[in-house]
Chain A
Amino acid sequence: MSSVSETAVAASVRTDACAREQIHIPEAIQDRGALLGLDARGRLVHASANADAVLGVKARAWGCRIEELLPPEAGAGLLGHLAELPDTDGAPLVLGTVTVAAGEHALLAHRGGDGGFVVELERQRPEDVTRTVGGVTRMLREVHPTVVASAGIDALCGIVAAEVQRLTRFDRVMVYRFDEDASGVVLADRHLPEMADYLDLRFPAADIPPQARELYRRSTVRFVGDVNAPTIPLERAGDTPLDLTFAGLRALSPVHLQYLRNMGAGASMSVSILDEGRLWGLIACQHRTAHRVPPEIRALCEFLALAFGLRLPGQRAADRAEGRRRRAEARARILQDAPAAGGPEALNPERLMDVVESDGAAICSTAGISCHGHTPPPAAIAEIAAGVRELSHHGVWSTRALATDLPEVGPAVTAGGGLLAVALPGGSGDLALWFRREVAETVAWAGDPRKPVAVDAGGRLSPRGSFAVWAETVRGRSAAWSQDDLDAAAELRTALAAALARHAAALLKLNTALTRSNEELDAFAYTASHDLTEPLRGIHNYARFTLEDHGDALGDTGRDKLDAIVRLTVRMELVIDSLLQISRLGRAEVLVGDVDVDALLAEVVELQAGAIGDHHVEVRVDAPLGTIRSDATKLREILLNLVANAVKYAADRDVRWVQIRTRRDGDDAILEVRDNGIGIAPEHVEDVFKLFRRLHERDAYGGGVGAGLAIVQRLATRLGGTIDVLSVPGSGTAFTVRLPQGGSDD
């Protein structure tokens, strides 16, 4: 507890101290040269305190012209050069070499505020020029093409670090990226073998305060050749201090210098890497002792950082496109499964893991839970799903720490780790869940981030003194879900919704088509029966009329033949009617209700009264038949056909009966119609339900076309039931209709 508050206090102290410091107007320069500030007309208004000594002239004659201060060969063309300086912000241009009292110097200039100019003289050695020339050639011919062609950010960082080290000869060159929380991580580190490796090390955000990051964004190169050298104060004619934002000689803030000394650096350079105007990271260089980097070499490093920055948007787009492509492929595979079964239960959790990188995935639907990989047990998933549904009814929900964000779910359930959940379309609360295991995540801080400041012996604040690796272990949390992860989950949801909608539309279309084709089939059956019957009736009538009008003239043979035509046409009509009836059975609607079987039998007996009387058949009902849950019309048809069949095939004996019984057998109702008729030969039992299959001579047993039992069997099937026959030739037949009662109502 106490360490937390100390951290907070320390952080605020540090922030305040840095916020007060105006780092772009330090009113001092580094000691490796001299600086002159000119007004818009080229007259002297600022000068570093060492200007007299460096130039060997009386410099601080405020208002004197710049040509008067420099040797004639340098001074003469200078005003022209100044006028040609670019208007935009930027690092100083190297205008040439000038030899003054303190020796050979590079002459640099850039535009200052208020239309004025800043002229810098930086000490140089003869070999600097040669290094520079070689560097430019190499940069254009080899390095730049490599940077442009490199594949991936990591490769790019390696190339840039190596090349900057080669150019600058620093002991250490790092490529350092800022994260969203402004802390930074080292992506590449080139250093001497004996030095510690900083790769993957993380630097706290406070190491580079906000106004420094803003300065770094505007002015891309900073170089300090000797952190221990004294700074040279700036003097001025007027009241306004000189803005040194872009000056190469700008003195670093004392806090920054102390930070570098604490890090063990004698010299330092950093070059900003900008990504579409945003500070993406730094090329950070350090030397254990004082070190020299000529201005033109620094410009080459700046060029390299620029080339690096220009690669970033394209690389980022390519990375994301590749990720999107992979995820889209995975999504397509998932969608192949989904619509077939029409619901989330068809989704495969293993395939979910291709869409979002995770350790485990689960589908939690009304049909149950299916999971793959490293997930909590199903019971725990159900609890988590219930918790998530309360938190978010729609869309996507995620956490890196289940234990913290879903505390109401039992602790055994959420030992830790992360969850990404997306509500599946359909509104039934189904979820797709991705799990990431808790990582005992180790952040390697460069020094203890909770102690960014220290108070030195003199009572002054100074940056933390130790950069020894300080490992912080983070518990209960998973790796973070990226925006791409969340987007992928949301896209999956959208795609599933679209697929389900398409599926529903297809089903609707199919249903409509089925209904239409049923209606067409029905109409066809009637039309066919109508068109067959009409000519049949014509044939029948003309045969009859011929018999009536010319019967006497025809003789017996002629009359017999016409009689045959008449008989056949009547039979043909029966066949057509049976076909029509059967063709309609499969499509007829089934209306289930409680059917009074006694009443039904009474109707049937009345309808068959003629035949029953003619054949002297007794209808026996020993016990009330009760009710059967079925379709009344179809059951009547079944009973009618069975009774008619029994009457038709009554045996030649004194007492002829047909007996009707009902009973229950489990969930089924049984309707039994038995008779003591002629029976069916065993070899024909299988044939009785076949359409138009007659077992007897055409005109025996009252004729008929052999459709009755076929119709009965189709009706029983339509009602979800079965029909069986048991027969002993010569003693009788029993038909058993079994109709399910408990199940579905269709």
Chain B
Amino acid sequence: MTERVVLAIEDSEEDIFALRRTMKLVAPDVLLTHAPDAEAGLQRMRSGRVDLVLLDLNLPGLSGRQLLERLRLEGGTPTPIVVLSTSAHPGDVSACYQLGAKGYVRKPVDLDRFRELVAAVLGYWLDAVEPPPTESAVP
């Protein structure tokens, strides 16, 4: 089985550190790649394999919401994007879903809870779900 790749678009050093530690623990066979801002994230999405994007909303420059918007304007992406955010402003939540996010997860303070959530999200999107066939595969 080829190695699965998770792209975290996240500017917080602490959060990426926590995520890296968490993934080593709950999904050691998944590769975590990191982009510190939205532009870098978009570039990484275009340049190589990404199976799941974990997107922070509060980013320097282009925000997470704006990234979703740009992707949608460009015709969407087959890669599932799950928002990982500290806040759960109802406006943000519904906007993200409207812009094509596949999930919205609020980052809890409690590390145990965080680990459960990351395990659940990765388990669902990388293991449980059958991804849509790529365009070339459509008969």
How far in angstroms is the closest Cβ of chain A from B10? 12
Specify which of A537, A542, A544 lies most central, judged by the most chain B CB atoms within 10 Å of its CB. Answer: A537
- Cβ of A538 under 8 Å from chain B: yes
Task: Find chain B residues with CB under 8 A from A570 CB.
Answer: 109-110
If A530-B58, A534-B12, A545-B21 touch, whether A540 touches B86 (CB-CB below 8 Å) is no
Write the B100-113 contact mask toward A (1 if CB under 8 angstroms, else 0). 00000001111100
- Contacting pair B89 A537 (CB below 8 A): no
A526–B86 Cα distance when bound, in Å, is 10
- Contacting pair A541 B111 (CB below 8 A): yes
If A533-B86, A534-B12, A534-B86 touch, whether A573 touches B109 (CB-CB below 8 Å) is yes
A523–B91 Cα distance when bound, in Å, is 10
How far in angstroms is the closest Cβ of chain B from A391? 56
Quick one: which of A150-200 are within 8 Å of B by CB? none
If A534-B12, A537-B14, A541-B14 touch, whether A573 touches B87 (CB-CB below 8 Å) is no
- Contacting pair A537 B21 (CB below 8 A): no
Binding site for A on B (CB under 8 A): 12, 14-15, 17-18, 21, 58, 86-87, 89, 107-111
How far in angstroms is the closest Cβ of chain A from B133? 37
Task: Find chain B residues with CB under 8 A from A573 CB.
Answer: 108-110
The closest CB in chain A to the CB of B17 belongs to A541
The closest CB in chain B to the CB of A536 belongs to B109
The closest CB in chain B to the CB of A549 belongs to B21
- Contacting pair A569 B86 (CB below 8 A): no
- Contacting pair A533 B109 (CB below 8 A): yes
Quick one: which of A52-100 are within 8 Å of B by CB? none
Task: Find chain A residues with CB under 8 A from B87 CB.
Answer: 526-527, 529-530, 533
How far in angstroms is the closest Cβ of chain B from A166? 93
A-B contact pairs, 28 of them (CB 8 A): A522-B89, A523-B89, A526-B87, A530-B86, A530-B87, A533-B87, A533-B107, A533-B109, A534-B86, A537-B14, A537-B18, A537-B86, A537-B107, A537-B109, A540-B109, A540-B110, A540-B111, A542-B14, A544-B111, A545-B18, A545-B21, A569-B109, A570-B109, A570-B110, A572-B109, A573-B108, A573-B109, A573-B110
Task: Find chain A residues with CB under 8 A from B107 CB.
Answer: 533, 537
A538–B13 Cα distance when bound, in Å, is 10
- Contacting pair A541 B18 (CB below 8 A): yes
The closest CB in chain B to the CB of A526 belongs to B89
5 residue pairs, one from A and one from B, having the closest CB atoms: A530-B87, A573-B109, A538-B14, A526-B89, A544-B111
Specify which of A523, A536, A540, A573 lies most central, judged by the most chain B CB atoms within 10 Å of its CB. Answer: A540
A5–B74 Cα distance when bound, in Å, is 98
Task: Find chain A residues with CB under 8 A from B108 CB.
Answer: 537, 573
Task: Find chain B residues with CB under 8 A from A545 CB.
Answer: 18, 21
A540–B110 Cα distance when bound, in Å, is 7
Task: Find chain A residues with CB under 8 A from B18 CB.
Answer: 537, 541, 545
Task: Find chain A residues with CB under 8 A from B12 CB.
Answer: 534, 538
How far in angstroms is the closest Cβ of chain A from B58? 7
Tell me what chain B mostly uses at the interface: helix, strand, loop, or mixed: loop
Q: Bin chain A's interface residue count.
A: 20 to 34
Quick one: which of A538-555 are within 8 Å of B by CB? 538, 540-542, 544-545
Q: Name 9 extra pairs, CB < 8 A, besides A540-B111, A542-B14, A573-B110.
A: A522-B89, A526-B87, A527-B87, A530-B86, A534-B12, A537-B14, A537-B86, A538-B15, A573-B109
How far in angstroms is the closest Cβ of chain A from B94? 14
How far in angstroms is the closest Cβ of chain A from B137? 41
Task: Find chain B residues with CB under 8 A from A544 CB.
Answer: 111
The closest CB in chain A to the CB of B111 belongs to A544
Task: Find chain A residues with CB under 8 A from B58 CB.
Answer: 530
Quick one: which of A500-537 are within 8 Å of B by CB? 522-523, 526-527, 529-530, 533-534, 536-537
The closest CB in chain B to the CB of A584 belongs to B90
A527–B92 Cα distance when bound, in Å, is 12
Specify which of B14, B17, B107 lies most central, judged by the most chain A CB atoms within 10 Å of its CB. Answer: B14
The closest CB in chain A to the CB of B25 belongs to A548
How far in angstroms is the closest Cβ of chain B from A229? 107
Task: Find chain B residues with CB under 8 A from A542 CB.
Answer: 14
The closest CB in chain A to the CB of B110 belongs to A570
A522–B108 Cα distance when bound, in Å, is 21
Task: Find chain B residues with CB under 8 A from A533 CB.
Answer: 86-87, 107, 109
A542–B110 Cα distance when bound, in Å, is 11
A546–B61 Cα distance when bound, in Å, is 33
Task: Find chain B residues with CB under 8 A from A536 CB.
Answer: 109
Specify which of B12, B86, B108 lies most central, judged by the most chain A CB atoms within 10 Å of its CB. Answer: B86
A142–B3 Cα distance when bound, in Å, is 121
Task: Find chain A residues with CB under 8 A from B110 CB.
Answer: 540, 570, 573
How far in angstroms is the closest Cβ of chain B from A627? 26
Task: Find chain A residues with CB under 8 A from B109 CB.
Answer: 533, 536-537, 540, 569-570, 572-573
Task: Find chain B residues with CB under 8 A from A534 CB.
Answer: 12, 86
The closest CB in chain A to the CB of B18 belongs to A541
Specify which of A526, A527, A566, A569 lies most central, judged by the most chain B CB atoms within 10 Å of its CB. Answer: A526
The closest CB in chain A to the CB of B85 belongs to A530
How far in angstroms is the closest Cβ of chain B from A653? 32
A529–B106 Cα distance when bound, in Å, is 12
Task: Find chain B residues with CB under 8 A from A529 CB.
Answer: 87
Quick one: which of A279-300 are within 8 Å of B by CB? none
A522–B86 Cα distance when bound, in Å, is 16
The closest CB in chain A to the CB of B106 belongs to A533
A481–B5 Cα distance when bound, in Å, is 93
The closest CB in chain A to the CB of B89 belongs to A526
Task: Find chain B residues with CB under 8 A from A526 CB.
Answer: 87, 89
A544–B86 Cα distance when bound, in Å, is 19
How far in angstroms is the closest Cβ of chain B from A562? 12
A534–B111 Cα distance when bound, in Å, is 13
How far in angstroms is the closest Cβ of chain A from B91? 8
A533–B14 Cα distance when bound, in Å, is 13
How far in angstroms is the closest Cβ of chain A from B87? 4
A569–B109 Cα distance when bound, in Å, is 7
A527–B86 Cα distance when bound, in Å, is 10
A573–B58 Cα distance when bound, in Å, is 19
Quick one: which of A565-584 are within 8 Å of B by CB? 566, 569-570, 572-573
A538–B21 Cα distance when bound, in Å, is 13
How far in angstroms is the closest Cβ of chain A from B24? 12
Task: Find chain A residues with CB under 8 A from B17 CB.
Answer: 541
Specify which of B18, B87, B107, B108 lies most central, judged by the most chain A CB atoms within 10 Å of its CB. Answer: B87
A533–B108 Cα distance when bound, in Å, is 9
